[in-house]
Amino acid sequence: MSALPLIFTAGWASGVNAYAVVLLLGIFGATGLSDDVPQALQRTDVLIAAAVLFLIEAVADKIPYLDTFWDAVHTIVRPAAGAVVAALLAGQDGSLPQLAAGALGGTTALASHLVKAGTRMAINTSPEPASNIIMSLVEDLAVGGIITIAIFHPIVAACCAGTLLVIGVILVYLLASRIRRYLNRRRQRRAAKRAAAAV
C-alpha cells in the first residue's frame, strides 16, 4: 500500500514518456537518492537504452504528424512500460499485490497516453510547428518534475498526477468537440461550393 502513490505516478508519467520514467527512476536508484527503485531499473544497460530512446523520442515528439505516428506506435509500449515499472516497484515476485500494481500502472499509463495522443492530434490541426515543440517540452518537464517529487513526496506527486490526468481528459474532450465542429463546418462549406458549382 505504501508504494501505491509512486506506482500511480509512475504509471501516469509512463503514459506520457515511458523512457524518461525508466531513466529518471534508474538514476535516482543508482545514485542512492531512493531506496524504492528496484535493481532492474538501475542496470547500466537499462539506463543506456532508456537514455537513447528518450533522446529519439525527444526529437520525434516535436515534429508535427511524426509525433502522432510515434504516439500510435507507443499505444502498446507506454502502457506495457507502465505495467512493468509498477510491478517492479511493488516487488514480491508473482504475488497478487504485484499483479494488481501492474494493472494499476498499465491502466493509468494507457489513460495518460490516450490523453497525450488526443491532445497531439488536436494540436496537429494547427499549421505551425511551435505548438508541438512547446507541448512536448511541457510534457517532458511535467514528467521530470512529477517523478522527482514522487521520489521524495509520493502522495503529493500522486495528487498532481491525478489532477493532470483529469484536466487532460477534460481538455481532450473539449478539443475533440472543437475539432468535430471545425470538420463539420468544413464539410458543409465544401458541400455548399459543390452545390453552387452544379447550379
Q: List the pLDDT tens digit at each of the 199 positions of the chain.
A: 578 999 999 999 999 999 999 999 999 999 999 888 999 999 999 999 999 999 999 999 998 888 888 998 999 999 999 999 999 998 866 677 788 888 999 999 999 999 998 888 888 777 677 888 999 999 999 999 999 999 999 999 999 999 999 999 999 888 877 667 656 766 787 888 887 777 6
- pLDDT given at position 144: 96
- pLDDT given at position 119: 86
64-79 core/surface letters (b: 16 or more CB in 10 A; e: else):
beebbebbeebeebbb
- pLDDT given at position 178: 64
**C-alpha cell recorded at residue 64:** 508535427
- pLDDT given at position 97: 79
User: What is this structure's pTM?
Assistant: 0.84
**C-alpha cell recorded at residue 17:** 514518456
Q: Using CA atoms, how far apart are residues 39 and 136, in angstroms rounded to an integer?
A: 29
Contacts of 7 (CB under 8 A, 6+ apart): 86, 89, 90, 101, 104, 105
User: Using alpha carbons only, what angle is made at residue 86 by residues 169 and 140, rounded to the nearest 5 degrees?
Assistant: 50
- pLDDT given at position 199: 63
Contacts of 125 (CB under 8 A, 6+ apart): 179, 182
Residues 90-126: pLDDT tens digits? 886 667 778 888 899 999 999 999 999 888 888 877 7
Contacts of 66 (CB under 8 A, 6+ apart): 60
**C-alpha cell recorded at residue 13:** 508519467
**C-alpha cell recorded at residue 126:** 494547427
- pLDDT given at position 94: 63
